[in-house]
Amino acid sequence: MRKNYIRVMLAGALCCLFLNACSAAYAATDAETAAAKESAQETASEEKPAQVSAQEALDLLADLLNGGKGSGNAEVQKSGSDTIVMNAETADPAESVGEPRTITVNASGTAKAVPDKAEISFGVTTQAATAEEAQKENAEKIDQVIAHLKERGVEETSIQTSSYNLYPEYDYNGKTPKITGYQVRTSLTVSDQEIEEAGDIVSECVSLGINDVDNFRFYASSYDEAYEDALKSAVSAAEKKAAVLAEASGGKLGSVLSLSEGYQNTAYRYAKANYAMTEEAAADSASGFGMAVMPGEASIEARVTVTFELR
């Protein structure tokens, strides 16, 4: 019994000590809180911050929840270096950036041009038992052709000898192929010639030893003018196409915002040749005599990409 009594007394003493410690801690905390409040009041009286009412805070919260769109003019209150904006009206993002609606179209236009200049590729092929003989015969004929071209008024800068090839010829009837001779091919390219003279040039050169006619290429000296007309036609076509799209979408076509030129095929564009003669050379294929030259009519195309404003 006595032991239990002592235990109860000790427990009560411990409880009293615990309560006294809690009371002291609470008193200290209360004193610090009071001091902090007093210091905050003094600081507030010195800085005089902007006062925001509970209603204004609620309005600001509602404004933020509505996506940042205010219901009236902005009210700005300044406190030191801080700025408080109340009820600020925010414009629609698309309107604030100012990006217009647009229509982008691709269009092409064409114009006709009649070629009036020709470039002729032809050559001489010779065969002989030895390489020296084949080369000598080939060179004599090529020299005659070049001399004739100069006599008829063709400028040296319009005559090009492009390559020279020497081929051995073989006999494959036996077990081991044997060289039976040699073949030499030389080609010439004659440019800057009038269309009406191209046929005569070929005929005259064939009589001098030309036995390979490679091809004809035709050019139009009026290409640049025709291409400009094609560009105008392409832009006009783009405007018509965009107008149809604008009407179909319920809008109206505005001004041009951007315009770019597309791929340009300059196959028919004429530029005077500026290459001098090189050493004799060879070419492959084709033969002809008295060939009629018919250049036909060239179609010049222009392509554009245009962006219009859609109103």
Mean local confidence (pLDDT), 50-55 = 51
Q: Residue 89 pLDDT more than 50?
A: no
Is the Cα torsion angle 54, 60, 65, 70 positive or negative in sign?
A: positive
- Look at 40 and 267; give whichever has higher pLDDT: 267
Place of tokens 């470039």: 119
Q: Are 214 and 284 in contact (CB under 8 A)?
A: yes
Q: Which of 94-108, 109-123, 175-189 has the least mean pLDDT? A: 94-108
Q: Which of 51-60, 126-135, 141-150, 227-236 has the least mean pLDDT? A: 51-60
pLDDT of residue 162: 75
Place of tokens 């800057």: 192
Q: Residue 24 pLDDT more than 80?
A: no
Q: Name the burial class of residue 247, with classes exposed (0-12), middle (13-18) and buried (19+) by CB atoms within 10 angstroms of its CB.
A: exposed
Question: Could you give all domains of the chain from N- to C-terminal order, each with its CATH number?
Answer: 100-311 (3.30.70.2970)
Is the Cα torsion angle 130, 132, 135, 140 positive or negative in sign?
A: negative
Average pLDDT over the chain, rounded to whole?
74
Q: 0.85 cut: is pTM over it?
A: no
pLDDT digits (tens, 9 = 90+) for 211-236: 988 888 889 999 999 999 999 999 99
| Exposure b/e, 159-170, CB count within 10 A at least 16 = b | bbbbebeeeeee
Specify the long-range contacts of residues 273-277, CB closer than 8 Å, at least 24 apart: 273/119, 273/157, 273/158, 273/160, 273/191, 273/192, 274/157, 275/157, 275/160, 276/156, 276/157, 277/146, 277/156, 277/159, 277/160, 277/161
- Look at 57 and 245; give whichever has higher pLDDT: 245
Q: Residue 195 pLDDT more than 80?
A: yes
